[in-house]
Amino acid sequence: MTPLRQRMLEDMLIRNLSKETQTSYVNHVVRFARYFRQSPERLGPEDIRTYQLHLINERHLAPTSVAGAVAALRFLYQITLKQDWALDAIASPKRGDTLPVVLSPEEVVCFLGCVADPKHRVILTTCYAAGLRLSEALHLRIADVDSQRMVLHVAQGKGNRDRYVMLSPTLLKELRAWWRATRPTTWLFPGQRPGRPMDKGAVQWACRLARFRSRLTKPVTPHLLRAAFAVHLLEAGTDLRTIQLLLGHHRLETTARYLRLATTKVCSATSPLDLLPRPVASAADASTR
């Protein structure tokens, strides 16, 4: 390991960045250095600009992916290398505000019924039932299931924040059946490596296979099951602040995006056209005059 990478890792550790963020940042910086075949310490603003154009024009990366590289390079040059020019010189692309596709309750039932492996099915059911990120579901411990208070304890979720989420009675039955069948000791969903939870890859692959088997035309990922959780709660009348707490969002604005996906909320609003004191004359009425 080079001294520069070691220092960057230490800087991320001091700032308590998640393991996923640390891995992502290091990978972006490694790809940047390989492109120029030089240490980043010898590169500057013009090289970063050239690399950004390479990501956009040659690799055809989406703005979100380019933004990930920008965040990594800003951290490297601002924090680790302490370059004053870093913030202004490393431009971040404007990202479009796209809405995710949302599964209907019937589609959720269809999809989960097509997950072949019981372990994967319970994990994906947990993502939907409690609105968990896949990493949060995989890091549940036996002790995190509180059947007395009917809550799940999510330890160190995104942003290293703990929270409690509801424990559905239906999910509790699924989890108890899973525990009786497998008898895990620490992690609710242990992986193949001793003392470690299950890896994401196998569940993501199972998700793709189940989507193929279900013949759903919509994309399905563990994160879209979390989105379905939020939208279905909104459509059932749960207030936005409660959903924010359940999802573990830092800002209410992040949760408010799901309002645009809740069709029952949108369709329940009355158009001002229908509130006019007298009906608007139609084209057919005008033609008879």
Are 114 and 213 contacting, i.e. CB atoms less than 8 angstroms apart? yes
Catalytic positions, written as ranges = 133, 158, 223, 226, 249, 258
Q: Using CA atoms, how far apart are residues 105 and 100, in angstroms rounded to an integer?
A: 16
Beta bridge partners of 146: 151
Q: How far is CA 266 from the centre of its chain?
A: 24
Other Cβ atoms closer than 10 A to 25? 24
Alpha helices (runs of H) in the chain, residue ranges in sequence order: 3-14, 19-36, 45-53, 63-74, 86-89, 105-113, 118-130, 134-138, 169-182, 200-214, 222-235, 240-247, 252-256, 263-268, 283-287
Give the CA count within 13 Å in the CB-facing half-sphere of 42: 6
Take residue 39 and report the two structure tokens written for it. 């240490």
- Helix (H, G, I), strand (E, B), or coil: what is residue 166? strand
Q: How many Å is the maximal CA-CA distance in the chain?
A: 86
